[in-house]
């Protein structure tokens, strides 16, 4: 007895029409790219200190309602990047301490709340606190969320935009005596003096003009 051959696969008209949509749906499964949040494009804040230290005094809970661990760029990392990209030491003594006091993202039902607080302390070479500047920003999202990671990333990015403005404002307002600019070296000018003495025996220009 001969073996039966399998029946050829036949696509119905409906299945053929659905193929492009199925292919597009498969493409949506590709992971979304989240660029790192860096701030070197902003004006640096130059301080008259010899050293800058970053301290993290806020520790996320890591359990609900904390959702910061689901953020593609955690608020703590974004604040550390701001300090690294914008604060510069241009002094011979003293130190600045950039302190992360709050970098939270929490979700309770349909409300996501974000909060950031940083403190910049200035200490003299004798370890005496000479001044400080504090900056705080907050943001809330209410309603349904289709993509939690995207929502958290967008909230962190928006808060960092506000933080860069608020932090610089507070520093320039409260620590203006500790701000400095790099010394600019003047470029040499290759130019002959205007009244260059004429060599001996050369005709006088006034007499030639006559």
Q: What is the CA radius of gyration of the chain?
A: 32
pLDDT tens, position by position, 46-103:
999 999 999 999 999 999 999 999 999 999 999 999 999 999 999 999 999 999 999 9
Using DSSP's 3-state secondary structure scheme, residue 111 falls into strand
Give the domain extent around 50.
33-179
> Which of 181, 164, 159 has the alpha carbon at shortest distance from 115?
159
- Is 59 part of a structural domain of the chain? yes
- Is 115 part of a structural domain of the chain? yes
- Is 143 part of a structural domain of the chain? yes
pLDDT tens, position by position, 107-117:
999 999 999 99
- Is 188 part of a structural domain of the chain? no
- Is 72 part of a structural domain of the chain? yes
> Which of 112, 111, 131, 113 has the alpha carbon at shortest distance from 121?
131
Q: Does the pLDDT value for residue 131 go beyond 70?
A: yes
As a whole number of angstroms, the distance between CA 135 and CA 164 comes to 9
Looking at the structure of the chain, the number of domains it has is 1
> What does DSSP say about strands 51-56 and 95-108: parallel, antiparallel, or unpaired?
parallel
Q: Supply the mean pLDDT for the chain.
A: 83
- Is 157 part of a structural domain of the chain? yes
pLDDT at 31: 75
pTM, to two decimals:
0.74
- Is 190 part of a structural domain of the chain? no
As a whole number of angstroms, the distance between CA 174 and CA 170 comes to 6
Give me the CATH number covering residue 46. 3.40.50
- Is 25 part of a structural domain of the chain? no
């Amino acid at each position: 007895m001969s073996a039966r051959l399998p029946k050829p696969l036949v696509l119905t008209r409906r299945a053929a029409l659905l193929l492009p949509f199925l292919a597009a749906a498969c493409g949506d499964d590709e992971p979304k790219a989240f660029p790192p949040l860096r701030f070197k494009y902003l004006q640096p804040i130059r301080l008259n200190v010899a050293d800058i230290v970053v301290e993290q005094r806020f520790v996320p809970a890591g359990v609900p309602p904390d959702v910061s661990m689901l953020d593609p760029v955690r608020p703590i990392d974004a604040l550390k990047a701001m300090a690294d990209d914008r604060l510069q030491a241009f002094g011979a003594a003293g130190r600045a301490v950039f302190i992360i006091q709050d970098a939270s993202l929490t979700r309770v039902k349909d409300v996501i709340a974000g909060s950031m607080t940083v403190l910049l302390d200035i200490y003299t070479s004798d370890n005496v606190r000479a001044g400080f500047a504090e900056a705080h920003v907050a943001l809330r999202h209410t309603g349904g969320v289709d993509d939690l990671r995207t929502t958290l990333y967008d909230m962190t990015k928006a808060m960092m935009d506000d933080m860069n403005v608020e932090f610089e404002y507070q520093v320039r307002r409260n620590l203006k005596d500790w701000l400095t600019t790099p010394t600019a070296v003047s470029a040499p000018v290759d130019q002959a003096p205007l009244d260059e003495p004429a060599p001996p025996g050369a005709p006088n220009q006034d007499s030639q003009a006559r």
